[in-house]
Amino acid sequence: MANSVIRLQNIKRYYMVGEFIVKALDGVSVDIKKGEFTSIMGPSGSGKSTMMNLIGCLDTPTSGLIDIDGENTAGLNEAELAYIRNRKVGFVFQQFNLLGKMTALENVITPLLYAGVSVRERKSRAIEALERVGLSDRMHHRPNELSGGQKQRVAIARALVNNPTILLADEPTGALDTKTGNQIMELFEELNSEGRTVILVTHDRELGMRSLRQIRLRDGKLEE
């Protein structure tokens, strides 16, 4: 319990859609330990995206407690949640979500900007992160000059650059061909073997099975 980086306790997240209440998550409790590689799996509408948003502090639960890296997030305001997203979470998205008008290097620098890192350190750290994902030769290219796999590597470098507690990847291979997807998965596995906590959100059973631990969701509840 002591070394858990994510702790969800009886989380409920309800939405109002018109006059109906949609129970996206309905009483979920999960504990993820430091250094684990965990897959959150389930069909679409099972609540896995909601869970990812909550873990990534993009959203707050209707009820229940979330601890990130031993810190309770209940009652935090927008700016405080932004701080956690910046320092503790690194997001990797299916559609890469790179800033289109910026070079790979500028994209990777962006989280450091919000962390208040000095100009010189920003650049050296961003270059280091790009080297880590094997893209040091494409730093000055814009996203539209990069292949899908390269884009995703930039996104991973951007997620890594602030040295977050958790890497949160939402269908990171969903927009890639099998071979490239496989390379990206290998990169995540490498990063995990270096001690990083990786959470993979996927509907792909085969992909999910590559990780040591699976959390299966169905209709907003854990499927045991």
Instruction: Calculate the alpha carbon distances from 183 to 63, 98, 110 in Å.
Output: 38, 19, 25
Distance of CA 168 to the CA centre of its chain: 2
CB atoms within 10 A of CB 219: 14
Report the nearest approach of other proteins to the CB of residue 126 (Å). 13
82 binds other proteins, rule: CB under 8 A: yes
Among 2, 16, 17, 79, contact with other proteins (rule: CB under 8 A): 79
Task: Quote the CA–CA distance of 162 and 89 in Å, as a whole number.
Answer: 9
Q: Which is nearer to other proteins, 46 or 162 (CB)?
A: 162
99 binds other proteins, rule: CB under 8 A: yes
Among 48, 138, 158, 196, contact with other proteins (rule: CB under 8 A): 158
165 binds other proteins, rule: CB under 8 A: no
Q: Which is nearer to other proteins, 97 or 214 (CB)?
A: 97
Q: Which is nearer to other proteins, 65 or 102 (CB)?
A: 102
53 binds other proteins, rule: CB under 8 A: yes
7 binds other proteins, rule: CB under 8 A: no
Listed residue (126, 132, 93, 85) closest to 109, CA to CA: 126
Residues 101-140 that bind other proteins (CB under 8 A): 101-102, 110-111, 113-115
* Interface with other proteins (CB under 8 A): 53, 56, 58-59, 78-79, 82-83, 85-87, 91, 93, 97-102, 110-111, 113-115, 158, 162
